């Protein structure tokens, strides 16, 4: 599913065009790959209780970033309990015997730091950025709430209202977000990735103390977490603090994680939302796709290169042909992320230009897909896509926030540190033949959902 769901809209273009001539052949000059970034100086160790710790030292600034990733997300919820993973994330700030309710973030703010958290389908993560000399404090407080969280009704009930208000603001007030929910359900069915992370409102209202306590007791444990420290510190310093604060936490028996291979019924389907709040019509098509962990996983790296070549910003084929050349659209792009335990999706999105219809833009986009399936991707397009992907990896490794997120999202979705470190080389190794094979396997209209976001009277 496209992460920027604000690019959606109009109907199937498959029947609106016949195959045209292929794109003009551009110069086939081989673009040299940049030197692969060195494997970062990441160090890892594991405590006796199963907590994996990763240290990414960097002395460029006297700050540290701490992240703790729990291997549990909304896809691990039981039927009828949607939103409990996200709800517990909120409740993790509601206090322990040593940190009063609401004080966790205030303590960090008073020290000049900042903190936050997020929940996804496959993981939940908490992070803080502070001065390097405050590392002891944030490790102590994070370890404390791993084992000593107080789940009390007087804190839970107001926070449940906060979550419901968050849903109203983030989802129900945004037509594109509501369409996204409908699209996901159509693509995956009403299970797993087809259920919103924040939950359904009627199920959120039913969540109580027992639900929150059970979720916490079953999933929040050192052997179900990865602690990542990046910044101005050393492995020895982190090890000493981890031994002091996290080592006393007891292991737990963690429920096994499963993901279904089931997808939505009645595909292909079209999902439409008309809304008076929509000023600009949008069209998208999402195809069921493999991830690193499920489906035809051998296609994952090729699909990343394909997505970048087809829809990677203003140099991607879709933007170049639809926006710059034919001017049938004002925006066009693709989205694909294989970082999931279950199936994922490959998405194409187009926003039609003024005076052009959604059908025009959709037909132009699907024409490019048809040409891609027939003729493949030129070598220079592939090389440029690889360069952009590698540049993104270099910048991410250089960041105290993006680097930890690379490791955290990988390790919580069944990957290893080697998968992060070897990713650039695997991208470079992708061939044009592999890209064509992946495109033909995934861009199958019988396993897709078209989404239309339209003005109420459009």
Q: Which residues participate in catalysis according to the annotation?
A: 89
CA atoms of 181 and 171, how far apart (whole Å):
9
CA atoms of 32 and 115, how far apart (whole Å):
41
- Among 317, 328, 324, residue whose Cα is nearest residue 364: 328
CA atoms of 348 and 334, how far apart (whole Å):
4
CA atoms of 368 and 361, how far apart (whole Å):
11
Strand partners, 63: 131
Q: How far is CA 256 from the centre of its chain?
A: 22
Q: What is the DSSP letter of 291?
A: -
Strand partners, 117: 126
**Token pair recorded at residue 72:** 């549990």
- Among 335, 369, 319, 330, residue whose Cα is nearest residue 352: 330
- Among 308, 303, 249, residue whose Cα is nearest residue 50: 249
Question: 189 with 181: CB under 8 angstroms?
Answer: no
Question: 84 with 212: CB under 8 angstroms?
Answer: yes
- Among 203, 202, 196, 192, residue whose Cα is nearest residue 171: 196
Question: 67 with 404: CB under 8 angstroms?
Answer: yes
Q: By three-state DSSP, how is residue 182 classified?
A: helix
CA atoms of 104 and 89, how far apart (whole Å):
13
Q: What is the DSSP letter of 194?
A: G
Residue 436, C-beta contacts closer than 8 angstroms, at least 6 positions apart: 373, 376, 377
Q: How many residues does the chain have?
A: 458
């Amino acid at each position: 599913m496209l992460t920027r769901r604000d690019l959606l809209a109009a109907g199937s273009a498959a029947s609106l065009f016949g195959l045209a001539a292929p794109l003009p052949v551009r110069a086939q000059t081989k673009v040299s790959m940049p030197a692969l970034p060195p494997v970062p100086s990441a160090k890892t160790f594991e405590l006796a209780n199963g907590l994996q710790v990763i240290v990414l030292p960097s002395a460029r600034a006297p700050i540290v970033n701490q992240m703790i990733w729990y291997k549990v997300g909304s896809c691990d919820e039981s039927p009828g309990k949607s939103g409990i993973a996200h709800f517990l994330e909120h409740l993790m700030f509601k206090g322990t015997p040593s940190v009063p309710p609401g004080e966790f973030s205030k303590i960090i703010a008073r020290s000049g730091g900042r903190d936050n958290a997020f929940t996804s389908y496959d993981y939940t993560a908490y992070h803080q950025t502070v001065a390097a000399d405050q590392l002891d404090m944030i490790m102590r407080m994070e370890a404390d709430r791993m084992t000593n969280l107080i789940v009390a009704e007087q804190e839970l009930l107001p926070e449940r209202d906060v979550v419901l208000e968050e849903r109203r603001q983030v989802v129900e007030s945004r037509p594109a977000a509501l369409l996204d929910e409908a699209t996901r359900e159509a693509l995956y069915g009403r299970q797993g990735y087809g259920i919103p992370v924040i939950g359904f409102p009627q199920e959120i209202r039913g969540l109580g103390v027992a639900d929150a306590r059970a979720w916490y007791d079953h999933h929040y444990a050192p052997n179900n977490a990865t602690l990542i420290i990046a910044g101005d510190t050393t492995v020895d310093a982190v090890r000493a603090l981890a031994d002091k604060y996290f080592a006393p936490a007891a292991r737990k028996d963690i429920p096994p994680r499963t993901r279904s291979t089931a997808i939505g019924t009645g595909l292909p389907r079209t999902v439409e939302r008309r809304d008076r709040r929509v000023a600009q019509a949008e069209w998208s098509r999402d195809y069921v796709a493999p991830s690193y962990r499920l489906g035809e996983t051998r296609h994952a790296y090729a699909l990343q290169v394909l997505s970048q070549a087809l829809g990677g910003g203003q140099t991607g084929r879709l933007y170049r042909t639809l926006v710059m050349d034919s001017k049938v659209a004002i925006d066009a792009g693709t989205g694909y992320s294989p970082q999931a335990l279950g199936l994922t999706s490959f998405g194409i999105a187009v926003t039609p230009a003024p005076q052009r219809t959604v059908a025009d833009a959709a037909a132009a986009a699907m024409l490019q897909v048809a040409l891609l399936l027939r003729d493949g991707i030129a070598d220079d397009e592939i090389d440029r896509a690889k360069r952009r992907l590698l540049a993104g990896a270099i910048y991410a490794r250089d960041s105290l926030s993006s680097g930890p997120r690379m490791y955290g999202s990988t390790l919580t979705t069944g990957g290893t540190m080697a998968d992060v470190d070897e990713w650039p080389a695997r991208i470079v190794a992708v061939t044009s033949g592999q890209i064509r094979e992946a495109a033909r396997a995934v861009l199958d209209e019988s396993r897709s959902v078209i989404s239309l976001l339209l003005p109420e009277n459009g």
